[in-house]
Amino acid sequence: MSVSGIVKGLLQKYLGKYIKGLGSNDLALSWSTTELKNLELQESLFDDMGLPMVLHKGFVGNLKLVIPWAQLATLSSKTKIVIELNDIFAVAVAKADVKYDAEEERKKARAAKDKLVQAFEDQRKKAMKEAEEAAKTGDQKAGFVSNLIRTLLENLQVTVTRVHFCLIDNSSVPTRSFVLGLYLEELKLLSVKPEDSDAHIQDSSSLSFMKRASLKGLALYINVTEKGADKRIPPKRDPLLTASEAGIKQMLIDRMDPSRSNCAYVLRPTGFDMALVFNSKGTVKIPQVQVNLKLSVLALELAKAQYSCIMGLLDTMSHYQLYARYRSFKPAALKVARPKGTHRCMLWWTYACNCVRSDLQLKAKRRSWTRVLMLMKAKKRYINLFFDALTSPKNKALKEAIRKMELTLEANEIIHFRKVAYTKWEASPHAARAKQSYAQKALGAVKSWIPSFGFGTSKTEETTAEADEDWDKAVETIKQSTVTADYQLKHAKDMALQLVLKLPRIAVSLLDAGPERHPIVTLAIEGLDFELIQRQKFLALRLYVCTSLANILQLSATVSSELFQNFYLLCLNAYVQHIHESAS
Amino acid sequence: MNLQVEDHVTKGTIFPNIISRLVTDESKNDPLLDLQLFMPPLDESSSLSLRLRALPLQIVANLPFLLGLSDFFAVQPVNLHALEDAMINALSSARQQSSAAIADALESHK
């Protein structure tokens, strides 16, 4: 296989589900750098997510991958794996407007069944892997795969710029149509050298590696349009649905500029700066994982119409998933019609009868003697076929026969039959032989690929003994010391995870329905600090919150003269000085 | 460090702040809430230790404000969805009742 063929295969495997044309023969790909421009998103983007929406148009402006395949095993800190995605724009439409397609629904049901079976297979593989790792307890050497993953993470640089997703919904709320948009200007995940760190990360001299993530210009808006009183006049189509490709891109880019757009923001453009430290070394003063998160000002605004649209959309989403199995019975006239007139009432009752009848038929079919007999026969045949397929995995005829049988079976039945087949196979001598052969092959492949780059080696026995000694000392110090709150807060030697969050200001406003969007109530919290610490080797969690909320334990009510003017006045005054020193 | 909730519904109110902090000289620089949870504490005296320190807070509420707030969040569910739920539930329960009635009749006939 050629170099471009391998890269194409990888792209198709991981991104083919989301981006069109990655398997095309016209793609010119090189070994280390791959750059693709003007790509389109797949229409089936939302199918797996179970969301009631279809993609109208979706584009990816630029996709760039720089992967030094030949140097993966010997990656130095200067070599970088780069992933860049620019100009991702998507316009989706709520699904109530989409017609029912029987063939399409059958395909989706089959895909859902396959997904359940695949999930079972993945879970089984994971369990086997965990069992293998557990068997290796006591061996402190890091494996090739874990070293490779660590190296990849250490050198990974991800940049995503200009992402805008837009949902046009005319059906979730009967009296309103709305456009919900979510965009971000830039997302970066970069590796940072310890000397480049500022006061954000303290004492970073002996780190394994450090990443910095920053997000800029994240915003959410909901533009609401009231439908006219006359229902015979169809609502005006959103310009995004009629515009050309270039027009859609331009409109979405314009909306991302707060000074030029007239978007009704729910979340005003915000961002964060996050520093992550991964420290795999045994004895250091900083935690194994340290996350310092500095958020920008959070400004949330919500008008009543926007709240109503959000609730309508959530209701439609839950309803869509709950009643997906009845979709075939629903006449098109009922999707938007209210029950007025005898004819429409009849349609509604017929639909409800069909729904209930389909449930009954399904139950009766599952319990029928014909199906029980069929399952008994199918079980024997399926288990034998699957067992044969496990012993000779390259036999295509067997795989085809299994696939045909699976068409008539339900997901839980397939999973049950596979479990029995696996048990039978694991008890057979074939399984032991297959494992031995696989191990030999894997070892041979690794040896031939990686000559002697020092991979698979980590701490020596001396280092491990030293680390244990340090740990024992640390535990001893903790036990002997006077335990106070200050000591616990300052003591950092035994931390496994530390999360520090700083939020300068949150402002939440509820707005009235008028065009000027006057506030009804505003909430402002300033200076919110949050710290979460987990101690290693203890199932211990230390939480330190320093925030602007108060607990209400003492209550005093004051009644003022406004009570007599039909105003209630309630003063809750809460104060707690001390909560216990010693636990009960 | 501050927390403030303002009322914009009640015109001419003498309490524009629904929630505000009661500032005293002693507590000017202290956090409003300081919560520490240890599971378990280092001295292993218990399985869980909770330390909570809070400062006074004044909460004032009046009727127009509460009514304005409840009016904001009062959203009618979508009629068609509610109708669909009601019809399917009504038919299923009617069918279950009738099958139970037939079973009962057969039982009593013996």
Per-residue HEC secondary structure of A6-43 comes to: HHHHHHHHHHCCCECCCCCCCCCCCCCEEEEEEEEECH
Residue A543 has its nearest CB partner, among B35, B40, B87, at B35
Distance, in angstroms, between B29 CA and closest chain A CA? 12
A395 confidence band (pLDDT: 50, 70, 90): confident
Q: Quick check: A524 and A316 in contact, CB under 8 A? A: no
The angle subtended at Cα A468 by Cα A463 and Cα A472, nearest 5°, is: 150
Q: What percent of chain A has pLDDT over 90?
A: 12
Using the structure block, give the residue that is written with the tokens 């191990």.
A439
Which helix H or strand E contains A501, and what residues bound it?
strand A495-511
**Closest-CA distance of chain A to residue B108, Å:** 26
Q: What is the pLDDT of residue A217?
A: 92
Indicate the pLDDT class of residue A348, thresholds 50, 70 and 90: confident
Q: How confident is the model at residue A335 (pLDDT cuts 50, 70, 90)?
A: low
Residue of B nearest to A319 (CA): B81
CB pairs under 8 A between A and B: 199
Residues of B in contact with A546 (CB under 8 A): 1, 31, 33-34
Please tell me the predicted confidence (pLDDT) of residue A266.
93
| Chain A partners within 8 Å of B15 (Cβ) | 569
So what's the pLDDT on residue A299? 92
The whole-number pLDDT of residue A578 equals: 31
Would you list the DSSP string of A246-301?
A: HHHHHHHHHHT-TTT----EEEEEEEEEEEEEE---SS-SS-SEEEEEEE--EEEE
Q: Is the pLDDT of residue A205 over 80?
A: no
pLDDT value of residue A200: 42
CA distance, residue B22 to nearest chain A CA (Å): 9
Q: Rounded distance, CA A339 to CA A348, Å?
A: 7
Contact: B1, A526; criterion CB under 8 Å: yes
Give the separation between CA A20 and CA A573, rounded to whole angstroms: 61
ipTM: 0.73
Indicate if the pLDDT at residue A363 is higher than 70: yes
Q: Which residues of A are less than 8 Å from B36 in CB distance?
A: 485, 488-489, 542-544
Helices A102-135 and A396-408, packing angle to 10 deg: 120
Cross-chain Cβ contact A583/B61 below 8 Å: no
In the prediction, which pLDDT does A459 show? 40
User: Cα A189 to the chain's mean position, in Å?
Assistant: 17
pLDDT at A198: 47
- Residues in CB range of A299: below 8 A, 6 or more apart: A265, A267, A268, A270, A507, A509
Total-model pTM: 0.69
CA distance to partner chain B, nearest, from residue A53 (Å): 17
User: Structural domain boundaries of chain B?
Assistant: 1-75, 76-110
Residue A550's pLDDT band, with cuts at 50, 70 and 90, is very low
Smallest CA-to-CA distance from B7 within A522, A572, A524, A573 is with A522
For residue A431, pLDDT over 50 is answered with yes
Residue A280, strand partner residues: none
Q: How confident is the model at residue A563 (pLDDT cuts 50, 70, 90)?
A: very low
Which of A315, A539, A582 is closest, CB to CB, to B77? A315
Q: Minimal Cα distance from A574: which residue of B?
A: B56
Q: Residue B22 and residue A573: Cβ atoms within 8 Å?
A: yes
Convert the pLDDT of each residue in A42-85 to its tens digit.
887 887 677 788 889 999 999 888 877 767 666 565 677 888 99
pLDDT tens, residue by residue, B7-62: 888 888 888 888 887 777 766 667 777 777 777 676 777 777 787 877 888 888 88
**For the purposes of burial, counting CB atoms within 10 Å of the CB of A272, is it exposed (0-12), middle (13-18) or buried (19 or more)?**
middle
Taking the C-alpha atoms of residue A219 and residue A169, their distance in angstroms, rounded to an integer, is 19
Cα-flanking dihedrals φ and ψ of residue B46, to 5°?
A: -155, 175
CB–CB of B91 and A356 under 8 A? yes
The pLDDT, as a whole number, for residue A165 is: 94
From A287's Cα to the closest Cα of chain B, the distance in A is 17
